[in-house]
A and B are shown apart, each in its own frame.
Chain A
Amino acid sequence: MTSRSRVLEALGTVYDPELDEPITSLRFVTSCEVSADGDVDVRLRLPTPQCAPNFAYLMAADARSAVLRLPEVRGVTVLLEDHYTGEEINTAVGRGEAFSEAFPGETEGQLDALRELFRRKALVARESRVCEELLARGATPEEVTGRRVADLPDDPEARRCIELRRQLGIPAGENAPAFVRPDGEPIAAADLRHWLRRARLMRTSLEVNGGICRSLLRIRYDLPDAKEVAA
């Protein structure tokens, strides 16, 4: 695999924290250049000039970290373009500085709490889809809530659930319950229907936000139309 491919693969591990999707498939990576000496230049773009600075910062910082993890990379520049706080973000990210240093006096802390909040939302949203598919195929609530991680289908959705659990510090070993609340508690069969109602709403929220962002990005940069993602 070429260096550029490996860099793009690394960027594919960087998720938009709000939409829980890779920045590559969201088409947020405008360009990615790798020099023969291993210097990487990445340009990022977002759906609007006023996308929330905290999420924008997280993506730019995560992109830099992901690329730096590649052994063949000597240096990396990540620049967020066409954004109203782009200068502050690019300066801070370039220096490896924290979010609070990008906006002195405008934050009360760092972005860990924000990241965790959205990982929890994403976990619920994704679990709900796996659950509903099982129920649609005829499983009972008892069967669904009785499953272990080892029983989960081997598909991207379930794998992402495991990854989110690990990031949240929720046990995700083979024998752990397949479906858990964001605090790690397993879901009881009697609670499944009610939990799914709420979880489905969270999933809808994530999907709709992703849809709007995709549409706005396409309009902003005049990109070829991507097929509407089936709801």
Chain B
Amino acid sequence: MYEHNGEKYFVVDGHLHFWDASPENWVKGQEQFAEGWINCFHAYMGLAPEETHWPIEKFQKYTEEDFVKDVFEDGYVDVGIFQSTYLKQWYTDGFNTAERNSRMAEKYPDRLIVNGRWDPRDGDAGLKELEEDAKRYGLKGVKLYTAEWRNGSRGYSLKDPESQRYLDKCKELGITNIHVHKGPTIWPLDKDAFDVSDVDYVATNNPELNFIVEHVGLPRIEDFCFMATQEPNVYAGLAVAIGGLMHARPRFFAKVMGELLFWVGEDKMLWASDYAIWEPKWQVEGFVDWNYPADEAYSDYPALETTGKKKIMGLNAAKLYGIEVPRELQLPDEAGTPAARDDAQLVEDRA
């Protein structure tokens, strides 16, 4: 919970990790990719305030104590959602699998949610594994990384028929939140690597599911916005948009916020830190304190008031994940308001 200027904010970190990218975990023969990957993330950390930078050794593998301190003690986070990312082609035990994340989550059952994942290229075996994961971890969401490498394939599209089998399985298992992350490579290589049109396609065809596009579809924020404005079930995950821009490029960040508020709206934006790329503390404080620069260039964008910030910082995610929000941290007119039709089955009784 974060308190500032007499206002209290319920904080849901919609995207964090407990990864192990240490050299001991690099697959033999794939070291250049494993190392390149984590070094690239470490470079992103360079966009944060200097006092929050970590040395590469800590960044490769941090401890549970680090996590608890950075996320819960200093970071104001009430509930965190692990977006499990496997990458087993490069990391022997995975980058951060649901299993690894769940070992942490088990110690903080009311404060950490584990998301699973699937890969349509895993076929029937993958569907079975998803069923088992759903039972074991109580899955309400999955993170999909369409650019993940697998046996010579550099990526897949959500438009592939195999993906629909998995989406149907998700509906069956009560996994309603589909977080999609676009990465740098996607098959075939002559196409735009970051194309989000496959998300558009599946969001239209699966209105009962929620699609959270991580890091607002950057670098295709325009395509993401054009899509999200038309699809009621497409959401903007702000991880990386905040961490990568709010401190390093504040004027660009203001433009990104303005566009998101205009096209997507404050009800469909979800705050997240992407820890441990960046620590939550400065991102919580900075976001609550944020406003547009006092400049004619920003006068055309929608305002973001306290109510909107409370929604983005935690209330929107709480709705998607059925997280109970203490009464004093809810919005004044929400207690007693019927839940939105598409997540009525998730919301706890708040009366």
Q: Other than the known A50-B36, A107-B190, A201-B263, what 5 A-B pairs have Cβ atoms closer than 8 Å?
A: A51-B184, A205-B219, A208-B219, A211-B252, A230-B251
Per-residue A-contact encoding for B178-209, CB less than 8 Å = 1, 0 else: 00000011011111111000000000000000
Complex CA gap A111/B252 in Å reads 30
Quick one: which of A190-229 are within 8 Å of B by CB?
197-198, 200-202, 204-205, 207-209, 211-212, 215-216, 219-220, 228
> A residues engaging B (CB < 8 A)?
18, 48-54, 84, 99-100, 103, 106-111, 113-114, 117, 121, 197-198, 200-202, 204-205, 207-209, 211-212, 215-216, 219-220, 228, 230-231
- Chain B residues 261-309 with CB under 8 Å of chain A are 262-263, 297
Is A204 in contact with B255, judged by CB distance below 8 angstroms? yes
Assembly CA distance A118 to B248 (angstroms):
26
Residue B339 lies at the interface, judged by CB distance under 8 Å to chain A: no
Selected contact of A117 from candidates B192, B219, B222, B254, CB within 8 Å: B192
A208 touches B37 (CB 8 A): no
The minimal Cβ–Cβ distance linking A98 to chain B, given in whole angstroms, is 10
- Tell whether B46 is near chain A: CB-to-CB under 8 Å: yes
Interface size on B, residues (CB 8 A): 41
Instruction: Say yes or no: A18 contacts B188, CB within 8 Å.
Output: no
23 examples of A-B residue contacts, CB within 8 angstroms: A48-B43, A49-B39, A50-B36, A53-B189, A54-B191, A103-B189, A106-B187, A114-B192, A198-B222, A204-B222, A204-B255, A205-B221, A207-B255, A208-B249, A211-B252, A215-B46, A215-B47, A215-B244, A216-B46, A216-B47, A219-B47, A228-B249, A231-B251
| B interface list, Cβ under 8 A from A | 32-33, 36-37, 39-40, 43-44, 46-47, 154, 184-185, 187-194, 218-222, 225-226, 244-245, 248-249, 251-252, 254-256, 259, 262-263, 297
- Tell me which residues across on chain A come within 8 A of B248, comparing CB atoms: 211, 215
Least Cβ–Cβ distance between B227 and chain A, in angstroms:
12
Q: Which residues of B contact A54 (CB under 8 A)?
A: 189-193
Q: How far is the CB of A156 from chain B (nearest CB, A)?
A: 20
Question: In the bound complex, what is the Cα–Cα distance between A111 and B47 (angstroms)?
Answer: 32
Residues on the A chain within 8 Å of B40, using CB: 48-50
The residues of B that contact A18 with a CB separation of less than 8 Å are 219
